[in-house]
Structure 1
Amino acid sequence: MSEETTNTPIEGSETGETREALVRGSRRVLRGQVTSDKMEKTIVVTVTSLKQHPLYGRTMRRSKKFKAHDENNECGTGDTVDIMETRPISKEKSWRLVRVIEKAK
């Protein structure tokens, strides 16, 4: 089982994203908005998805909150971010910040 985990920057990526984030294929990556950054090295990210009602077929908006690890405290409330599933860091925190897509105005 040879898995390539190099930390070389991806060509054409202006954010300096490393190849390690792309090689880990089985980990989910979600995009959401930061709703809280009041904890040290932790952010709360709200991920919104569209689900169809099983009986009536109406499309409903569902949202779920995830606690994610933000090592450098670089996120603020309102930022759009990508988070990736990782090993459990604490009781409720098993996601980590991959990158900040857009800063809040």
Structure 2
Amino acid sequence: MSTEETTNNNGRVLRGKVVASKMTDTITVAVERYVKHPKYKKFLRRTKKFLVHDAGNKAKVGETVEIKEVRPISKRKSFELITTK
């Protein structure tokens, strides 16, 4: 008796801007988020860069893209490209 179990782990989906695309099948995406300062209550902008797998080198520098978290592809690459806008 064979039972198929499929697990669909929906990872984080983030939106950011492509800042570099000189690597093969890899782009660098800067994702911004806003954080409220605990004492002064001012909203601060925080930026983090992610290496993203881009099969076919579709994304260009300056485009806004959506990325999804997947299993690790390499040491620093754990996201893949979903859409470009």
Is the TM-score greater than 0.5?
A: yes
Task: Report how far residue 26 of structure 1 moved.
Answer: 3.3
TM-score, normalization by structure 2: 0.89
1:40 is matched with which residue: 20, 24, 46?
24
Which consecutive unaligned segments of at least 5 residues does structure 2 have?
none
Distance in structure 2 (CA, Å) of the matches to 1:87 and 1:29:
13
Which runs of structure 2 are paired with 1:6-21 in the superposition (5 Å)?
A: none
Mind listing any 5+ residue stretches in structure 1 that lack a counterpart? Answer: 5-23
Matched residues in 2 for 1:73 and 1:34: separation? Answer: 12
Letter of the 2:19 counterpart: T
1:96 Cα deviation from its structure 2 partner? 0.3
Find the partner of 1:70 among 27, 48, 54: 54
RCO comparison, higher one (Cα < 8 Å, 6+): 2
Query: Structure 1 stretches (4+) deviating beyond 6 angstroms?
Result: none
Aligned residues: 82
Residues 63/40 of structure 1: CA separation in 2 closer, same or farther (3 Å cut) = same
Task: Give the number of the structure whose residues are more often strand, by fraction.
Answer: 2
Confirm whether residue 97 of structure 1 aligns to residue 81 of structure 2. yes
Shift of 1:55: 1.3
Specify the SS of the correspondent of 1:72.
coil
Instruction: Name the TM-score, length of structure 1 as normaliser.
Output: 0.72
Kindly, what percent of the aligned residue pairs are identical? 44
In angstroms, what is the RMSD of aligned CA positions?
A: 1.8
